[in-house]
Each structure stands twice: as structure tokens, then as C-alpha cells.
């Protein structure tokens, strides 16, 4: 994919015009026919409106009979009315048909959003392009938006045909008329192009401001943050930040407005000079007897319209150019590069021996975030046997979750390989690869759907309700669900659903576990699943974990080292490296970092228990 350099667009305006016309044809061929027809209607309508005053003058100067006057003028009048009605119908129905283009492109953009690599979603650059792609679809300025760009393309051709036809006539009458009416508007046009390029080159920064403003406007009053905002007195802080960002955004808007204002003033001056000189030249020709009165009226009317055609051509080119810059953003996002394998020839995710579970190999694997200077994960080498239960422990920032995200296919390795059943991760089709993992991450998201749908990840028609109940039972949440009036059909999220429910942190963790169990993937990953649980619930979760992970290769990430007793092997991470590896007993005998942290946590828990006992006595 090409990338913009020195503020120049990655696709030319002509390239984007062809692209949009192809898109229009793909989504609505009939609209193409209608808008081509509208070009001829516009041309015919323009000719009749210019011709009508000439016919009136000719009838008066040639002593036409009342019948001839009625016939000529009536015929033209009826034709104008019919063409206007037809043109209005095309504009109305054509707009309806063109909405399919925006809907179709929005669907493509949405599909890209939900299918693009996870790394792209995390990328600031990609999120900026994503926002500008939305602006390209729906428009935030004159001439922008997919539908308006297409309309401007056809409007450009309408003005161009009239310019050529009537310009040829005026050139035949007097070449200076055509030259005068053409040159001056072009000066203003090039000024507008320069302003638009400045505006587009500023979009990266203004999009960042808009995104921050949107975030504050939508999250300062959110249900999740409402408690902190009030208890910690963050109200004014939000207001101050919003005012600061608004002031900066308005400053940029003021710059754009001032540049366009100066261009519009100059355009008005050029208009007076252009039309004034043209009318003086035409009047001089009549006084000198160079053209008859009827032709004078025709030319006089045509000059007024001609100025509109020239201005229309240049304005439409300017609007198309502005929209083209936005379409560049849309296309850049739609064509944003992907690392993951989405081919149809990749291997199928089938286990070598399902009874033993899936084996995993990290081979000299390193990972570095975009624009980071050092690797987050460094030369990871470890073999995980099929069905093995692995605990990954370490302090915050050790790289535990990053390692798991690399394993899941959310991140691509910077160097080295990850193999599942002896097959390189990159050789799997990414969607087949995702199907091998059931995950419970620290940060999670539930759609405002029923509990059953939240567990299955599918709509109710494709949900196995009996399996949902079994998974909720295994996760320890069915007792709570059975007390609800609607049971597994209860809707989540009170903000969206009036009768919805909001689960506690521990209940959400259990619901996530039920979702992972429903998927029944051969590799199970639990990232801090007990963080929101009380000690009793935590112990129950560990016992369930031990039972539910039979014949599954499983990874358990936790800060609480008491969880490691259920695992076959422990990987202790520090600064992106595995510095200790072995069973709990082996690492305790080693007396290293793991043993030190385990003893520290044990003393803490013992102290807490003693305090609780003293309080009770």
C-alpha cells in the first residue's frame, strides 16, 4: 500500500473518481443510468431556459402572431416543467439508491474493523485512519462523503457539457468572451485546492483532537466511571480538559474558516470584474451592429449561465478533490496491511493426538511493540506438552499477558516462532487458529445481549441452551442465574436494556469462564481469572479449574502464587524473559525469585489470617 509523503495523497483524484464510479456500479447500476440521464436533462433544461428569452424577443421583433407566440413559448414552458419534474424525481430517487453505496462501504469498513489484526486496532496510526475513514463515508465538510462525491462527479460532467456547447457558441460570437469567462475563475480554483491540501494535511492532528473530545464526552458520564468521577472530585478536571481541547480544536477551525473566507472574497471580486467586462463587450457588439438583438439576448443570458458553469466546473472539481482526499483515507484503511494468514491453502487446525492435547513450542521467540526501542519479550524458548497445565507468574510488567497474546495470534512475533502441534503459527489460517483457544482475559467486554448469547457468542437461534446451562453450572454461576426472573434469557447491561442486569466483578469472571468452556477449545487460557473473587470463591475456582482442564493444554496467569499448586509446571517471568521454570516443589528447592515471592505472599496471608482470628476473639 502506498503511503502519503510530503502531504501528497496516496491516490490521484482521477484514480478515486474511477474507484467511486465502480463502487456505485457495484451497489446500484440503475443509479448510474439515472445520473447519466440527469446530465442530458440538465443540458436540455439549460438550453431551453437560455433559449426562452431569445424566442420572446424574436417573436416581438418579427411580429409573430398570437398563435405562434403561444405555440413557441408554451412548448418551451411545458418542456421546462416536464424536465424539471423528471430532474427532481431523479435527484430524490437517485439519492435513495446512492445510500446503498454508503451502506455498502460502511459494511466493508465495519468488516475490516472486526477482522483486522489485533495489533492494528491497538495502533494509534490505524485508529486515526479509521476515524478519517468514517468522515470519508459520512462527510464533515463541503463536498465530502461518498454520496456527495458521486453526485459532484455527475454535476461536474453536466457543467462541463454546457461549458463546451455554449462556450463554443460564445467563442464563435467573440473569442474574448470565452477567454474572459474562463481564466479568472481558474485563479480562485487553484487557491481553493491549496487550502484543501492544507486542511487534509492537518487531519491527522485534528482527528486526534476529535477522538479525545469524543472520548471525554462519551465517558465522563459513563456508568463505569460515574463513581470515581464523583468520589474523587474529577468533575472540574473533565470540564477543564474538555475546554482546553475545544479551544485548540476551534483554533484550527478558525484557521480553515479564515482561509476559505479570503478565497470567497477574492472570488466575489473576480466575479464582478469578469461579468462586468463580458457585458460591456457584448453591449459594444450590439451597438456596433455586429450581432442581432435576439442573439444578444441569447448571449446575455448565456453569459450569466456560463459564469455559473465555469464556477460549477471549478467548484465541483474542488469539491471532488476535497472528497478524494477523504476517499484516500477510506481506501488506506480498507487496504491497511495485515500480517495474519487469511489464505485458503493453510493447514487445518487438527490435533496430532487429541487424547494427549495440543502441544505448544516457543522457539527463540521475541516480540517488540511498534515504535518501541526494546523487546518486550526476549528469546522465549519452552516446550509445552499436550494436556500440560502451565502457570505463568511474575510481577506486573513482566510480559505474561503479552506472551499469551502472542500465543493466541493477537500479536505476531518480531522474531522466532510459535508452533502448535509442530506447525508454525503463521501457517495456520488465522480463523482456524483462533478456534483452538478458549480465553478469559483481564480486560473483557460483554455485548448488551442475553446471558445465553453472551456465553455462546452467537444469536439465540444458533445457541445450544442446554450446553449454556451446563457451562454456567461448571463455572459456578448457574445458582445465581436461576434466581433471575428470566434466567439465562436475562439481558445484560442496564444502560442499553431497561430490564437488564449488571453482574458483580466475580460474577463476570465466572461468566467469562462459562464462555470459554462453551467454546470447548483444546487450549484454555485464564488471565487473572480470580482477581475479582473472594478467597473462598477463589479456592472453588481453582478446584473447578483442575477438573475442567483435563485433556486440555492450559495456561493460568496470576499474581497469586497459591494458584500454582494446581499446575504441572510454573514459568516465572521477569523483564520479558523466563528466568525460572519447574514445578512448585522444584522452584521452592531452587530458592530463587519464585520462592522469595511465594514466601512473601505466604507471610502476608498468614498475617491476615492471624489478624482476622484476633479480631474474632
All three cell numbers of 577, joined, read 524473559
Asked, for residue 404, whether it belongs to a domain, the answer is yes
H/E element, 356:
none
Residues 307 and 412 in one domain: no
Counting the structural domains of the chain, the total is: 2
CB 592 within 8 A of CB 580: yes
Residue whose C-alpha is closest to residue 554's, from 538, 566, 543 = 566
Q: Say if residue 372 is in the same domain as residue 329.
A: no
Query: Which of 284, 318, 334 represents a domain boundary (last residue)?
Result: 334
503 within a domain of the structure (yes/no): yes
Q: How far apart are the first and last CA of the chain?
A: 72
pLDDT per position as a tens digit, 188-238: 667 777 776 666 666 666 777 777 777 777 666 565 566 566 565 666 777
pLDDT at 603 over 90: no
133: its cell numbers? 475513514
Q: For 11-15, 241-245, 350-354, 518-522, which range has the lowest pLDDT when averaged over its residues?
A: 350-354
**Mean predicted confidence (pLDDT) in 366-380:** 90
The Cα 30–Cα 192 span in angstroms is 33
For 13-37, write each residue's pLDDT tens digit.
899 999 999 999 999 999 999 999 9
**Which is higher by pLDDT, 85 or 175?**
85
Query: In the predicted model, what is the mean pLDDT of residues 272-298?
Result: 75
Per residue, what are the HEC states of 409-426? CCCCCCEEEEEECCEEHH
What pLDDT, on the 0 to 100 scale, is given for residue 534?
A: 59
Give the model's pLDDT for residue 378: 94
What pLDDT score does 117 carry? 86
The predicted pLDDT at position 537 comes to 64
Which of 605 and 364 is assigned the larger pLDDT? 364
Pairing of strands 523-527, 553-557: parallel
Query: Mean pLDDT, to the nearest integer, of 401-409?
Result: 92
Q: What is the mean pLDDT of the chain?
A: 81
State the pLDDT at residue 558.
78
* Domain match, 196 and 149 both: yes
Q: Which of 165-179, 363-377, 388-402, 577-591 has the lowest mean pLDDT?
A: 165-179
Lowest mean pLDDT: which of 273-282, 294-303, 465-474, 526-535?
A: 526-535
Q: Judge if pTM exceeds 0.75.
A: no
- CATH number of the domain at 536, please: 3.40.50.300
- CA–CA separation, 55 and 48 (whole Å): 10
Nearest CA to 336 out of 122, 104, 130, 101 is that of: 130
Residue 346 domain-assigned?
no
Q: Quick check: is 487 in a domain? A: yes
Do 321 and 381 lie in one domain? The reply is: no
CATH number at residue 75: 1.20.1560.10
- Cα–Cα separations (whole angstroms), residue 467 to 434, 463, 473, 491, 514: 21, 8, 10, 18, 10
**Domain containing residue 157:** 13-334
At 139-160, the pLDDT tens digits run: 655 445 788 889 999 999 999 9
Asked whether residue 616 is assigned to any structural domain, the reply reads: no
The pLDDT assigned to 345 comes to 46
The answer as to whether 598 is a domain residue is: no
What is the layout of strands, in order, in the sheet containing 553-557? 437-440, 523-527, 553-557, 389-394, 569-574, 577-582
In a domain, 526, yes or no: yes
Q: What pLDDT is recorded for position 5? A: 47
Amino acid at each position: 500500500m502506498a503511503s502519503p509523503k510530503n502531504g501528497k495523497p496516496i491516490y490521484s483524484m482521477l484514480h478515486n473518481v474511477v474507484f467511486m464510479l465502480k463502487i456505485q456500479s457495484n451497489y446500484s447500476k440503475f443509479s448510474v443510468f439515472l445520473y447519466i440521464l440527469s446530465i442530458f436533462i440538465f443540458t436540455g433544461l439549460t438550453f431551453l431556459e437560455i433559449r426562452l428569452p431569445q424566442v420572446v424577443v424574436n417573436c416581438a421583433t418579427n411580429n409573430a402572431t398570437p398563435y405562434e407566440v403561444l405555440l413557441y413559448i408554451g412548448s418551451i414552458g411545458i418542456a421546462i416543467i416536464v424536465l424539471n419534474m423528471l430532474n427532481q424525481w431523479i435527484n430524490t430517487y437517485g439519492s435513495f439508491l446512492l445510500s446503498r453505496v454508503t451502506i455498502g462501504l460502511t459494511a466493508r469498513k465495519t468488516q475490516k474493523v472486526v477482522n483486522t489484526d489485533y495489533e492494528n486496532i491497538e495502533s494509534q496510526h490505524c485508529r486515526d485512519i479509521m476515524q478519517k475513514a468514517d468522515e470519508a463515508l459520512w462527510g464533515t465538510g463541503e463536498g465530502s462523503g461518498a454520496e456527495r462525491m458521486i453526485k459532484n462527479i455527475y454535476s461536474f460532467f453536466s457543467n462541463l457539457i454546457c461549458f463546451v456547447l455554449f462556450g463554443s457558441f460564445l467563442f464563435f460570437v467573440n473569442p474574448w468572451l470565452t477567454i474572459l469567462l474562463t481564466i479568472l475563475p481558474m485563479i480562485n480554483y487553484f487557491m481553493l485546492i491549496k487550502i484543501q491540501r492544507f486542511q487534509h494535511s492537518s487531519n491527522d492532528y485534528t482527528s486526534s483532537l476529535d477522538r479525545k473530545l469524543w472520548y471525554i464526552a462519551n465517558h465522563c458520564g459513563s456508568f463505569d466511571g460515574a463513581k470515581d468521577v464523583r468520589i474523587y472530585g474529577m468533575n472540574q478536571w473533565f470540564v477543564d480538559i474538555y475546554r482546553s481541547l475545544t479551544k485548540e480544536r476551534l483554533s484550527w477551525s478558525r484557521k480553515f474558516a479564515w482561509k476559505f473566507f479570503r478565497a470567497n472574497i477574492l472570488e466575489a471580486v473576480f466575479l464582478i470584474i469578469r461579468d462586468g467586462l463580458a457585458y460591456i463587450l457584448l453591449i459594444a457588439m450590439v451597438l456596433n451592429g455586429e450581432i442581432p438583438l435576439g442573439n444578444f439576448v441569447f448571449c446575455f443570458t448565456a453569459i450569466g449561465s456560463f459564469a455559473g458553469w465555469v464556477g460549477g466546473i471549478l467548484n465541483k472539481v474542488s469539491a471532488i478533490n476535497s472528497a478524494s482526499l477523504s476517499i484516500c483515507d477510506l481506501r488506506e484503511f480498507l487496504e491497511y496491511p495485515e500480517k495474519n494468514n487469511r489464505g485458503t491453502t493453510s493447514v487445518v487446525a487438527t490435533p496430532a493426538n487429541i487424547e494427549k492435547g495440543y502441544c505448544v513450542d516457543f522457539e527463540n521467540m521475541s516480540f517488540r511493540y511498534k515504535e518501541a526501542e526494546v523487546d518486550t519479550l526476549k528469546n522465549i524458548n519452552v516446550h509445552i506438552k499436550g494436556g500440560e497445565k502451565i502457570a505463568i507468574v511474575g510481577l506486573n510488567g513482566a510480559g505474561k499477558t503479552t506472551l499469551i497474546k502472542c500465543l493466541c495470534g493477537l500479536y505476531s512475533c518480531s522474531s522466532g516462532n510459535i508452533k502448535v502441534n509442530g506447525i508454525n503459527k503463521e501457517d495456520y489460517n488465522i480463523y482456524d487458529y483462533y478456534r483452538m483457544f478458549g480465553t478469559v482475559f483481564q480486560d473483557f467486554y460483554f455485548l448488551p445481549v442475553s446471558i445465553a448469547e453472551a456465553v455462546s457468542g452467537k444469536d439465540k437461534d444458533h445457541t445450544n441452551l442446554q450446553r449454556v446451562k451446563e457451562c454456567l453450572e461448571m463455572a459456578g454461576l448457574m445458582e445465581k442465574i436461576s434466581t433471575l426472573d428470566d434466567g439465562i434469557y436475562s439481558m445484560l447491561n442496564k444502560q442499553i436494556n431497561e430490564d437488564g442486569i449488571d453482574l458483580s466483578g466475580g460474577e463476570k469472571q465466572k461468566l467469562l469462564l462459562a464462555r470459554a468452556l462453551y467454546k470447548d477449545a483444546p487450549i484454555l487460557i485464564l488471565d487473572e481469572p480470580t482477581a475479582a473473587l473472594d478467597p473462598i470463591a477463589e479456592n472453588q475456582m481453582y478446584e473447578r479449574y483442575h477438573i475442567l482442564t483435563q485433556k486440555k493444554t492450559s495456561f493460568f496467569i496470576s499474581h497469586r502464587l497459591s494458584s500454582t499448586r494446581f499446575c504441572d509446571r510454573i514459568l516465572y517471568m521477569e523483564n520479558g524473559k523466563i528466568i525460572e521454570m519447574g514445578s512448585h516443589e522444584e522452584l521452592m528447592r531452587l530458592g530463587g525469585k519464585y520462592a522469595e515471592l511465594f514466601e512473601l505472599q505466604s507471610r502476608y496471608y498468614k498475617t491476615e489470617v492471624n489478624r482476622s482470628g484476633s479480631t474474632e476473639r
